[in-house]
Structure 1
Amino acid sequence: MKIFAARLAGTSVFDPAGDQIGRIRDVVVGLRGSRPPSVHGMVVEVQPRRRVFLPITRVRGIEAGAVIFTGKLNVRRFEKRTTETLVVGEMLDLAVTVGGQQMTVYDVAMEETKPSIWEITSVAVYRGRRRREARVVDWGEVAGFDVLQKDQGTAGLIASFESMRAADLASALHELSGKRRLEVARALDDDRLADVLEEMPPRDQIGILSTLEPERAADVLEEMGPDDAADLLHDLPPEEAARLLALMEPGEAAPVRRLLTYPQDTAGGMMTSEPVILPPTATVAEALANIRLKDLTPAIAAQVYVTRPPTETPTGAYLGVSHFQRLLRDPPSTLLGAALDPSIDPIRPELRLPDVAAYLANYNLVAAPVVDELGRLVGAVTVDDVLDHMLPKDWRERLHP
């Protein structure tokens, strides 16, 4: 039975007891010239974002949506040997020759040729940008896997990443070679790249952003949350940050500029300037419709902030907050002005990180309104913002040493 390796990406991995321990992220093979490559094993991502090696000899079953293994899994971090190749990370999108024609690889198939012995026996290829003449050929018909290519395509690799969450894709990109990482980053659309950059260590963020054309870098910053964009610009040299801000649309740059005026370890420096804000004349039904938006994080969607117009930060006079649990209890026609929680006081932008953390913990909150000296809502601090700033600055890098 042929198993196409790229389709395994994201497949759940189960131990002998039936417990899920991670997901397949890649397949490790050893090239052997004209002979079919031997499959050494699989790269499995376990929490927290640690990639470990599962030898192919431990695999006892590959089914739809599941890989089952036997024995114990060594949790030592996977390190690729110089004689090994990653199917998803390195073989997809390679330009190869089949019968004198230049083709592109979009998948490879492995088979169990002997008990517990797996080999790459077939290659799925296509011609041109629109996947003309797509077909599956034997490994022996293909030449070019051993040639170093300066500009490798990305379509197949990106397709294998399509269903990944942004945090998982950030982890996958971190594990690629620097060259491959930049090729994929450049090929992602602005919105997807922005989501991924928000989940990356500062070193990776800066490395990718600095290779983009300045106009493209500004477009990506516009797609990021203002607080994440501000954090990234804080890590850039001042002159480069100023240049990118100047290239951003004025309306997109304005909230980022405001956030940059606050120290990073204060409520103002951590907050998002785009929480869910509605006037007191809006109804509970309207509030629920707003927090249902799929792009909102759970912490942002947990509550609605009620202010006088305008309802973009900095708003009119801040009136209060209504939690989603209260919204679920009240009739849909209830006005938000009558559904406020009077027990939650706002915090000031200058409040320091330890005090913000203590405030959230003391009142069991996932977010808190931030109000300036004029009584205007300027943003909201969420528990994930606080965690991000309380953890060591290199915490994302520690997940990928």
Structure 2
Amino acid sequence: MTQLTFFPLGCGDTTLIQFRDETRMLVDYADMRCATDNSDKRCDLPKLLKDDLKAANLDSYRVVAFTHLDNDHCCGAPDYFWLEHAAKYQGEGRPKIETMWVPACAITEDGLEDDARIIRQEARHRLKAGKGIKVFSRPERLKAWLAANDLTIESRVDCFVDAGQVVPGFTLTEHHVEFFAHSPHAKRTDDRGVEDRNGDSMVFQARFEEGDAFTDVLFAADVDHKVLAEIVDITRFHKRDERLHWNVYHLPHHCSYLSIGPDKGEDKTKPVDQVKWLCEQAGEREGYVISPSKPIPTKGSDADKDVQPPHRQAAEYYKADVLADRRHFLCTMEEPSHTNPQPIVLLITRDGAVKDTSGSGGARAAASVVAPRAGS
């Protein structure tokens, strides 16, 4: 059975996907916990992930997708993974990455520091080698970089995934899952002479098949409402509305109001038209919204005054206007409680997405399900 695990990492992102064949995929990796602070409620990510691999008798991930290289999406990755570009990142106990997914800016961006720089070097190494990597972008975006490294677009064409394509390597027939790339898209990947790490981050739909029914999960990285509006406009122009359908919506940018609209609002953020359609029409009202964030602030609290997400006004929009059941808004640092956050597990069943309430990775599931769509 396929299952998704969302980890309590504060405002940090890591999602573990366990496929039906027991192989694993990670969407981002951010070890945000302070190991010397006993009061830190964020999870010990490397321990949990290594325990999971050991239990599954695995030593590698089928895919590790870095949606972009902000610290809260790649922190600690060089300490955890076996990286091919340098021996210092190799050794016993380091899980290998069979295929790395990155956006183009993870190749081209200069001036990166610390963990982001190291992951960039790994991505560049793999692209130079022509294997073990998928770069989400129009190939033309990297033409200059390829030329500077004595490479051509034609020689690396199999390494690229453009927006509007199904990602090679997975099929519903064989693997019971497929991934559809939404971003970076052409409007953002033309040579603009500027790197916008959040705006150019990877957005994709994961479609899981179980019992001839589809369950869709939309991963939205850190994009804002302007980029989401572009994605909606482009996708609907091409009459591919179903590629924006979601049963589970992994919120962009840790429940920021800017991923809904330009104005925070007093008590609830008002969405721009395209985001309103995405959230209220393309998604399922019985679905789940995942907020990978700190606890949602209460009105008037110190956290409420913080300009950084999460924003209570954004959370209220999802709870009040998007979901039929407010309890299906799941904040990673609040489940099952803000004093004892634990990983959130959703099971993909023939009845749709089911929240596991057993604490044992799927041994017992809640009765609440998200109805899937019929397959074909």
- TM-score (norm: length of structure 1): 0.28
Structure having the higher Rg = 1
Bigger helix share: 1
Which of 1 and 2 has higher RCO (CA within 8 Å, sep 6+)? 2
- TM-score (norm: length of structure 2): 0.29
